[in-house]
Structure 1
Amino acid sequence: MVSGQIDPFSVLAGQEHVVKRLDAMASDPPQSIVIEGGTEKERVALSLYWAMRLNCKEAPAPCGTCAVCRQIRDLAFSDLLFFDGREGQIKIADVRDTRSVWGQPPNGDGYRVSIFAEAQAFGVEAANALLKSLEEPRPGNVFVLAAPQRERLLETLVSRSWVVTMAWPDIRQNDAEINEWTSALVGFWKSGRGWFERTSPKGAVGKDLAQQVVLGMQRELREALKGQASTPVSQQLSQSFDLRGLRRIDLVLLQAQDSLNTHVAVNPSLVLDWVATRLV
């Protein structure tokens, strides 16, 4: 767990729909929620907003200025546990060391909120250890799993959570590198050339990059399947594959995503090469 400071009220402009949804859920909060979409900073901000909403005693809550809200903003509140996947893998020891705390009531008269920022950084063992805590709910303890997309989390964790989806960032505008990779992948499916030069250099593909490429292609595929191709990549998909072919791509991407999410020792370059060669 680390310290830091994010002011939810200044970060969440444009995400009012999810703020209102959390407000509506606050009277009977679910034990666990998954926050997906948005940017990394927005996901952390919404997680902290939820902790404020469940513990601030002012009206309307959260006020953002009382001692409780300030402490949550500073990650210094006694009933806030913050696990920062932005700093590296969330390990099983992090979860095991905290399970006894989750077995106790909160220190105050609100809720103990455990936030897992960038929860896709869970190791498999750590995710399964957390799952055991969710299977044995303790009153007053709630959990937040924040990740770019729910599919990057252990499926059984998602199935035990309410999913709150923030407005999606436009990955084509925010990450030109991913756009280059998805374009190259579709180009290889059409021509059989120009792919392995990208993946063969040592260290060219890390696990996070491979996950982002798969997610980016899923986004493009979704537009093509809906008949709303508005980008060069989604247009190429629509022109090059019929509905059966698009559904086959969907299956291949889901299998690749599962491999990247659940296998610790997986080689991300080989996963992307496998995706590339399935459609040639």
Structure 2
Amino acid sequence: MNAPLLQAIADPAFDRLKEVLNRLGAAPPQVLLFEGGSEFQRRDMALYWAARINCPQAAATGSPCLACPSCLQTAAGEHLDLAAYDGRISNREDEENPGPVRAFNMERVRELKSRLRDAPHGSGRRVVVLSGLSLTRDEAANALLKALEEPSATTVFVLLAPQREQLLPTLVSRSFCLTLPWPDSHGVDDDMRPWEEKLAHFLLSGQGLLDALAAKGALDATGAARLMLGCQKAINRIISKPIPDNVSSPLDAALATLRPQGLALVCQWLAEAQDALQYGLTPARVVEALAARIYALRLRGGS
């Protein structure tokens, strides 16, 4: 049996939001902002919106079919009228490993503004997805704001952020905001368990993790962010004991060796590491530095 398209939002918890998007599709707002949920859920919700905008059957049925070539290309990030940019992708990574999601920088914004002057390839609209944006008011952000200020009948923008407070207020003020269900604060990301095991083993022994991180392409920015979220959830579980019997990760035992003051310090380091990812630092190096700090903290007695 094939997995459902856009699997991250296949849960019934997202049905209400899909219904809202289906209604909005009749008269799309120029800027839509998705907050909450996980990074994968925000991404898939943006792709669902793009499918709703450009599915040939949606005008008649009110929802994307998720089976036609247009929907399949959209779900794969390959539709000609879909463009995606991420502020966490470094310029070097963008040049050396260009993919369907490009870096958000001044060069890409200029290319985008030029592209916006052309008509979409299909009969729908061009959908521009923007993630990893920061509160910094730089040249690229200013150019984006100007693009958003110019109403367009052929283009819609989608902003993705864990919380709207992480975006420039001027971006939020131009957006129709929708909040996805927040992630379970105790849930375990089973797909990340191998990395959580490596990190937990390193925190207890000082071994193994650095070699794993040194492998080419071992951990991308998304994986690093999920690993850090796993650390945050483990700390939440430790603080809010008792932990349910069916919910635990290898990180629980490793981080439980720290004192409360140490856990608070790790929370601060996690926030700093997440900021480092957002500003384009190499994910493996960010995780390596974070792990080394926590390991050193344990050696000092955990406080």
Normalised TM-score (structure 1): 0.64
**Which residue in the other structure is 2:126 paired with?**
112
Q: 1:183 to 1:30 in 2, by over 3 A?
A: farther
Shift of 1:50: 0.8
Work out the number of aligned pairs and report it.
257
1-side partners of 2:259 and 2:224: how far apart? 26
Task: Single out whichever of 84-93 and 173-182 deviates more from structure 2.
Answer: 84-93
Q: 1:219 to 1:9 in 2, by over 3 A?
A: same
Task: Single out whichever of 94-103 and 160-169 deviates more from structure 2.
Answer: 160-169
CA contact (8 A) 2:32 2:158 kept: yes
**Which residue in the other structure is 2:239 paired with?**
225
Equivalent of residue 156 in structure 1, options 163, 167, 174: 167
**Which residue in the other structure is 2:266 paired with?**
249
2-side partners of 1:177 and 1:58: how far apart? 46
Shift of 1:24: 1.8
Shift of 1:97: 0.3
AA at the equivalent of 1:180: E
Shift of 1:200: 6.4
Residue 95 of structure 2 corresponds to residue 96 of structure 1: no
Where in structure 2 are the equivalents of 1:1-280 lying within 5 Å?
11=7, 14-25=10-21, 26-27=23-24, 29=29, 31-34=31-34, 37=37, 45-55=44-54, 56-64=58-66, 70-75=69-74, 80-83=81-84, 87=99, 90-91=102-103, 92=105, 93-102=107-116, 111-115=125-129, 119=131, 129=140, 132-134=143-145, 136-137=147-148, 138-140=150-152, 141-144=155-158, 150=162, 155-156=166-167, 160=172, 162=177, 164-165=179-180, 172-184=189-201, 186-187=203-204, 194-195=205-206, 198-199=209-210, 203=214, 208=221, 210-227=224-241, 229=243, 230-233=247-250, 235-236=252-253, 239-241=256-258, 243-264=260-281, 267-268=285-286, 269-278=288-297, 280=300
CA contact (8 A) 1:33 1:145 kept: yes
Percent identical residues: 17
RMSD: 4.7
CA contact (8 A) 1:178 1:216 kept: no
Q: 1:8 to 1:99 in 2, by over 3 A?
A: farther
Q: 1:104 to 1:13 in 2, by over 3 A?
A: closer
Normalised TM-score (structure 2): 0.61
2-side partners of 1:59 and 1:201: how far apart? 49
Name stretches of at least 5 consecutive residues in structure 1 with no aligned partner.
Answer: 1-5, 188-193
Instruction: Deviation per CA, 1:65-109: give whole Å up to 9, x if none.
Output: 6xxx6424334766x223387938723333320123447887888
Q: 1:77 to 1:44 in 2, by over 3 A?
A: same
Task: Single out whichever of 22-31 and 92-101 deviates more from structure 2.
Answer: 22-31
CA contact (8 A) 2:200 2:254 kept: no
CA contact (8 A) 1:83 1:115 kept: yes
CA contact (8 A) 1:18 1:165 kept: yes
Q: 1:222 to 1:19 in 2, by over 3 A?
A: same
Aligned partner of residue 59 in structure 2, secondary structure: coil
AA at the equivalent of 2:33: I
